[in-house]
Amino acid sequence: MLQERAEEMEEDLLPLQERHSRLSERSAALRAQHRTLRPELETLEAEDERRIEGLRSAGAAMRAERAGLAGSLGRTLKEYELIRRSKKGIGVALLQGGRCSACNVSLPVSVQQRATQDKFPPVKCPSCGRFLIRLTQPA
């Protein structure tokens, strides 16, 4: 009876041993593949670091430029920030075809004329309160 049980266990164990052998071979192949790909990964990571550092320095330069420009705007910048916060991040609207692109209200001719003169301080939409700008066509 013990002999029969031992034979049954060997039969049950054989598929497990074969599976273990296949998995060991697969593991060895994956480790070898990892070793060959590791230098490429390190190169790509180094390139990413250089790109990220470039983006950081460009961002710092843009923030410095913005700070310089913001100093010359004074009260208008504060007003813009208030408008932007109250309007879900959008404080400027385009003047297109006599309408405000943000709220789609038809603007009075006097507002349209003042907005097209590009004078400072900027003109606000009487409906939504955003600053109005018009895009000039490239020559």
Which pTM does this prediction carry?
Answer: 0.51
Check whether 123 has a pLDDT greater than 50.
yes
Average pLDDT (68-81) is 85
**pLDDT at residue number 3:** 82
pLDDT of residue 49: 97
Check whether 84 has a pLDDT greater than 70.
yes
DSSP symbol at 103? T
Domain ranges of the chain: 1-73, 75-133
Query: What is the token pair recorded at 110?
Result: 């006097």
What is the predicted pLDDT for the residue at 137? 59
Q: What is the pLDDT of residue 9?
A: 80
Give the integer Cα–Cα distance in Å for 90 and 131: 10
Q: CA-CA distance, 37 to 5, in Å (whole number)? A: 48
Task: Kindly state the percentage of the chain with pLDDT values over 90.
Answer: 53
Mean of all residue pLDDT scores within the chain: 89
Neighbours of 111 (CB within 10 A): 19
Phi, psi of 92 (to 5 degrees): -130, 140
Over range 37-55, report the average pLDDT.
96
pLDDT of 61 over the 90 cut: yes
Please name the helix (run of DSSP H) or strand (run of DSSP E) that holds residue 14, with its range, or none.
helix 2-73
pLDDT at 139: 46
